[in-house]
Structure 1
Amino acid sequence: MKIVVLDGYTLNPGDITWEGFERLGHVTVYPRTDYTLNGGNSILERAMNVDVLLTNKTPLSREIIEQLPNLKYIGVLATGYNVVDVAAAKEKNIVVTNVPTYGTDSVGQTAIALLLEMCHHIGAHSHSVLKGQWENHEDWCYWNYPLIELSGKTMGIIGYGRIGQSTGRIAQALGMKVLAFDSYQNKELESETMEYVELDTLLSNSDVIALHCPLFESTEGIINKNTIAKMKDGVMIVNNSRGQLVVEQDLADALNGGKVSGAALDVVSSEPIKGNNPLLKAKNCIITPHISWAAKESRQRLMDISADNLEKFLAGTPVNVVNK
Structure 2
Amino acid sequence: MTTAALSATRTPVVLVADKLDPAGAAILEAAGVEVRVHPGLSADELIAAAADVDGILVRSAAKVTADVIEAAPRLRAVGRAGIGVDNIDLTAASRRGVLVMNTPLANATTTAELAIAHMFSLARHTAEAQASMSAGRWDKSALVGREVTGKTLAVIGLGKIGRIVAERGLGLRMNVIAYDPFLTGDSPLTGVELVDLDTALARADVLSLHVPKSNDTVGLIDSDALNKMRPDACLINCARGGIVVEADLLAALKAGTIAAAALDVFETEPLPADSPLRGVPNLLLTPHLGASSSEAQQRVSTEIAQQMADYLLRDEGRCAVNAPSVAPEELALLRPWMTFARHGGLMLGQVSDDPVVRLEVACRGELSERPSAPICTEAVAGVLSPCLDVPVNAVNAAALAEERGLAVLEQRAGTTGSASASTLELRVVTKSGAQHSVTGTVHEGQPRLTAFDGFRVDFVPSGSLLLTRHRDQPGVLAKVAILLGDAGVNIGGLHMSARRDDTDSALALWELSRPLESDELDGLAGLSVLVEARCIQL
Q: TM-score, normalised by structure 1?
A: 0.88
Match of 1:280, SS state, is coil
- Secondary structure at the counterpart of residue 268 of structure 1: coil
Larger Rg: 2
Tell me what 2:520 maps to: none
- Equivalent-residue separation in structure 2 for 1:102 and 1:217 (angstroms): 25
Show the counterpart of 2:306. Answer: 308
How many angstroms does 1:131 deviate by? 4.8
Asked if 1 retains the 8 angstrom alpha-carbon contact of 2:113 and 2:165, the reply is: yes
Secondary structure of 1:18 counterpart: helix
What's the CA shift for 1:73? 2.2
Residue 103 (1) aligns with residue 107 (2): yes
2:123 corresponds to 1:119 = yes
Secondary structure in 2 matching 1:209? strand
Give the counterpart of 1:30 among 20, 33, 38.
Answer: 38
Corresponding position of 2:28: 21
Quick one: distance in 1 between partners of 2:189 and 2:317? 35
Indicate the larger mover: 26-35 or 146-155: 26-35
Change in CA separation of 1:55 and 1:130 when aligned onto 2, cut-off 3 Å? closer
Q: 2:286 matched to which residue of 1?
A: 288
Query: Could you say what secondary structure the match of 1:125 adopts?
Result: helix
Distance (Å, rounded) in 1 between the aligned partners of 2:132 and 2:275? 27
Superposition RMSD on alpha carbons, in Å? 2.0
What's the counterpart of residue 137 of structure 1? none
Query: Would you say the 8 A contact 1:59–1:84 is kept in 2?
Result: yes
> Does residue 84 of structure 1 match 2:88?
yes
Question: 1:132: how far off?
Answer: 4.3
Partners of 1:280 and 1:199 in 2: CA distance: 29
Q: Which has the higher contact order (CA 8 A, sep 6+)?
A: 1
Deviations 1:251-308 (A, max 9, x none): 0001011111110111111110123433224331000000111111112211121122
Cα separation, 2, equivalents of 1:126 and 1:231:
28
Asked whether the 8 Å contact 1:158–1:212 carries over to 2, the reply is: yes
* 2:54 maps to 1:51: yes
- Identify unmatched segments of 5+ residues in structure 1: 135-140
Q: Deviations over 1:91-119 (max 9, x none)?
A: 33322222121111111111010111111
Tell me the amino acid that sits aligned with residue 228 of structure 1: L
Say if 2:155 is the partner of 1:157: yes
Task: Quote the residue 2:322 is aligned against.
Answer: 323
Name the counterpart of 1:4: 15
CA contact (8 A) 1:151 1:175 kept: yes
Partner of 1:64: 68
Moved more, 22-31 or 147-156: 22-31
Identity in percent: 30
Q: How many residues align?
A: 308
Residues 124 and 231 of structure 1: CA distance in aligned 2, closer, same or farther (over 3 Å): closer
* SS of equivalent residue, structure 2 residue 115: helix
Match of 1:80, as an amino acid? G
Q: 1:322 to 1:146 in 2, by over 3 A?
A: same
1:138-177 aligned at under 5 Å gives the runs 142-177=140-175
| CA distance 1:74–1:246, change in 2 (3 Å) | same
8 Å CA contact 1:255–1:283 kept in 2: the answer is no
Alpha-carbon deviations, 1:205-232, whole Å to 9, x = none? 1111110111121111111111111111
Residues 4-56 of structure 1 show CA distances to partners (whole Å, capped at 9, x for unaligned) of 11112xx33x7x56311222322121231223x3xxxx211222222221122
**Paired residue for 2:474?**
none
Aligned to 1:138: none
- The answer (yes or no) to whether the contact 2:50–2:71 under 8 Å persists in 1 is no
Cα distance in 2 between the residues matched to 1:195 and 1:295:
31
- Distance in 2 between the 1:7 and 1:194 partners? 38
2: CA distance, partners of 1:52 / 1:214: 24
Select the structure that is richer in strand: 2
**Change beyond 3 A, Cα 1:232–1:312:** same
Q: How does 1:219-298 map to 2 (within 5 A)?
A: 219-298=217-296
- Separation of aligned partners in 1, 2:17 and 2:189: 43
Aligned 8 A contact 2:33 2:309 in 1: no
Q: Is the 8 A contact 1:125 1:143 kept in 2?
A: no
Q: Which amino acid aligns with 1:7?
A: D
Aligned residue runs from structure 1 range 156-235, under 5 A: 156-185=154-183, 187-189=186-188, 191=190, 193-235=191-233
